[in-house]
Amino acid sequence: MLAKRIIPCLDIKDGQTVKGVNFLDIKSVGDPVELGTLYAEQGADELVFLDITASHEKRKTLVELVQRIARHINIPFTVGGGVSELSDADALLAAGCDKLSINSAAVRNPQLIDQMAKGFGSQFVVTAIDAKYENGKWTVFVNGGRIATDKELFSWAKEAQERGAGEILFTSMNHDGVKTGFACEALAQLSESLSIPVIASGGAGNMEHFKDVFTKGKADAGLAASIFHFKEIAIPDLKKYLTDNNIPVRL
């Protein structure tokens, strides 16, 4: 079995790391360069940087901040937010990121996934999906969870894979920031229906939640923010716990 990945997430607003609950009540939690450096030193497998208001504000990702973070870390670095064309990918690759996360722009222009996979390789393309469970189905949202679309989680994830996405980053809006566990049932269905890795996001509150997301949820990676930012769980302790529970991780 491949090692499961632990991925801290830096949600960025106005140049600062922030965190909310259910995509609302956003509060600043620290300097992204300092946090990214700390997580790399603690043994995080990857780092994700999401400029959460770029699409809504119709602007590009903060390239200079990406450069500053990239200079301080030595782990794979995924960047998203405001990416809408190939020139954005060029700029962010030059700034030091390893993978690009596309969300709202891919929903509005699915061919962007094809173009990026063809131009840079599928391993470079992460399709991020924010979805909320309501009225018996998972509805995909864009613009940082502000606008509902006519797309449904599982069919959209399948289409993204077929277009060349190398990974799916699924955030459950229902679970975001509430720390009651990941959306394991939906994650398991996603993982079983796709042949590419699934990154789980939304709901991590304790170490057992990570064990559950890798066993019940069948995810390839677990992404979290609050529990790391507020030092509720240290990455080395989490990896030891997972190892003790027979879940393979890189130590």
Q: Which residues are catalytic?
A: 11, 130
Integer angstrom CA distances of residue 154 from 11, 104, 150, 185, 215: 24, 16, 12, 12, 20
Integer angstrom CA distances of residue 208 from 41, 102, 179, 241, 245: 23, 30, 11, 9, 10
Strand partners, 12: 17, 51
Integer angstrom CA distances of residue 49 from 80, 90, 223: 6, 17, 11
Q: Would you say 48 and 38 are in contact if contact means Cβ atoms under 8 Å apart?
A: no
Q: Would you say 149 and 141 are in contact if contact means Cβ atoms under 8 Å apart?
A: yes
